[in-house]
Structure 1
Amino acid sequence: MIDEKLEKEIECIVESNGYILYDIELVKENNIKILRISIFSKNGIGHSDCEKISEIISPLLDVYDPINEEYFLEVSSPGVERILKKPNHFKCFINNKIQVTLEDKTKIIGILKDSNDCGFYLDEKYFTYNEIKKAKSIFEWK
């Protein structure tokens, strides 16, 4: 898939344009491979932001050719409610509401108070990343 060197180059491109690289994943939908690059900004992500990053990254992928078969490049926002998988995902949502599903399937909703490379504080309780099965941000429509 994407090696560490290419991921760092993509991250540099994204950050030099004022965004945060949220995730890179290779997915298969309807027998079509999609290289999905998710970018994030506290100010939100629009279509023009995605188009701009796609146009900059596309030639880099032509040179590296990270996937041996045909695929489509998709640059997008991670969405309104985001899956939190990596420590940097949690750092983006400090002081926001999240839902955590523990290994025993217990669901807890609270405010993400702080995070580090080992875990995070949900309200006043500390969890390690190993204790959770799934986490996502909660968006409240006003």
Structure 2
Amino acid sequence: MAEAILTEVKKLVEPILSERKLILEDLEYVKEGKDNFLRIYIDKVGGVDLTECSIVSERLSEKLDEQDPIEGTYFLEVSSPGAEKPLKTPEDFKANIDQNIYVSLYVHIDGEKEYEGILKDFSNNVATIDYKFKHRIKQVQIPYDKIAQARLAVML
């Protein structure tokens, strides 16, 4: 059921985003406690601000009221994926070369299940990351299918 809802919402939100030159980063329809949430994550080069999120929220809310693809009550949230946005697809990795990322793995690679470092390359479904080990820079190659989660990581 959630997939059907997300498919319909995507059809409604994409023209709004296209007109405003925004990117749909992610959609989710989830139940948390007693409440349902429809979350839309948007972005653009240089990032989005609260005004942009508000405009998209208002316009999408009107479309959702007209089409009514979701039974019952829910909360609509439109936001930026944030500074530590998730990397969910190979395209996300390719778009974030030379960025600091964090990955957790399904299996150990070189004795570790977590890495944080600079994404140097993503080709043939393998992420190459330069990371600090003690006082040296080391490199690890991680097959995409071994990555449980990945996100951009803010460097402190």
TM range (shorter): 0.7 to 0.9
- Which one is further off, 41-50 or 122-131? 122-131
Instruction: Name the Cα RMSD after superposition.
Output: 2.5
2:117 corresponds to 1:110: yes
- Equivalences, count: 141
- Partner residue in 1 for 2:145: 130
Output the TM-score relative to the length of structure 2: 0.75
Distance 1:61 1:118, change over 3 A: farther
Unaligned runs of 5+ in 2: 131-138
* 1:61 Cα offset (Å): 1.6
- Partner residue in 2 for 1:32: 35
Equivalent residues of 2:6, 2:28 under 8 A apart: no
More strand by share: 2
The Cα offsets for residues 102-123 of structure 1, whole Å up to 9 and x where unpaired, read as 1126111222234469454434
Equivalent residues of 1:38, 1:76 under 8 A apart: yes
* 1:3 Cα offset (Å): 4.4
Give the AA of the match of 1:134. Answer: Q
Percent same amino acid among aligned pairs?
38
Structure 2 residue matching 1:24: 3-state secondary structure: strand
The Cα offsets for residues 79-127 of structure 1, whole Å up to 9 and x where unpaired, read as 2212222334334423211011111261112222344694544346554
Written as runs of structure 1 = structure 2, the 5 A alignment for 1:78-117 is 78-104=81-107, 106-115=113-122
Output the TM-score relative to the length of structure 1: 0.81
Q: Which runs of 4+ in 1 moved over 6 A?
A: none
- Partner residue in 2 for 1:57: 60
Query: Which has the greater radius of gyration?
Result: 2
